[in-house]
Amino acid sequence: MSLISAIKEAQTATNHAKPFIKLMEALTNLDREIRAASSIQADADAAAQRKAQLESEIPALQAARNELQNAVASLQGQFGSERRAFENKLAETAKAADALLNAKHAQVEQEHQAKVTSLKNEITTLGGTVATLQQQKTDLEAQITQIRKTFQDAHAALSA
């Protein structure tokens, strides 16, 4: 066999083997896709089971939500009534404190007015006393002046 005929024989075998190689590659790709599809199917089955589990929990969760909503509504009603009672008590306490403050203010105002009246009377009395004392001072100064004049006249008479 010659070299050329061996090369031609190899080329012919290669040409005949190419479809088998392509077939093997296609089967390998098909196997890979089948494995991926089975993995996807397993994931889909697990998701379906999880979905079924979660859907079975929905009624219990809805019942729990309803109970919580009822409890919230009940607490809101209770809080509302307690708040109204507190506000009423606070209003009553404020009214009582205002009344007490007004009474205390009236008492202090009355005491202040009485003190002012007393001080005015005292000022009037002291004004009269000051006027009397001023008159007495003027009279005494006049007497002192008269006594000095008398002493001066006496001194002048003795000196003369």
Q: What is the pLDDT of residues 135-151, one digit of tens each?
A: 999 999 999 999 999 98
In-domain check, residue 12: yes
Answer whether residue 122 is part of any domain: no
In a domain? residue 121: no
- Look at residue 126 and tell me if it is in a domain: no
Of all helices (H) and strands (E), which one includes residue 40?
A: helix 3-159
Q: Domain total for the chain?
A: 1
- pLDDT per residue as tens digits for the range 86-135: 999 999 999 999 999 999 999 999 999 999 999 999 988 888 889 899 99
Going by C-alpha positions, the residue among 77, 122, 49, 117 that lies closest to residue 41 is: 49
Cα–Cα distance between 29 and 22 in angstroms, integer? 10
Q: For residue 95, count other CB atoms closer than 10 A to its CB.
A: 10
pLDDT at 12: 84
Q: Does any domain span residue 144?
A: no
In a domain, 25, yes or no: yes
In this structure, what DSSP letter does residue 1 have? -
The verdict on residue 150 lying in a domain is no
2: three-class secondary structure by DSSP:
coil
Q: Which domain holds residue 92?
A: 1-115
Q: Look at residue 88 and tell me if it is in a domain.
A: yes
The per-residue pLDDT for range 16-69, each reduced to its tens digit, is: 877 877 878 888 888 888 777 778 888 888 899 999 998 998 999 999 999 999
Task: Report if pTM > 0.85.
Answer: no
Residue 135 CB: number of other CB atoms within 10 A?
10
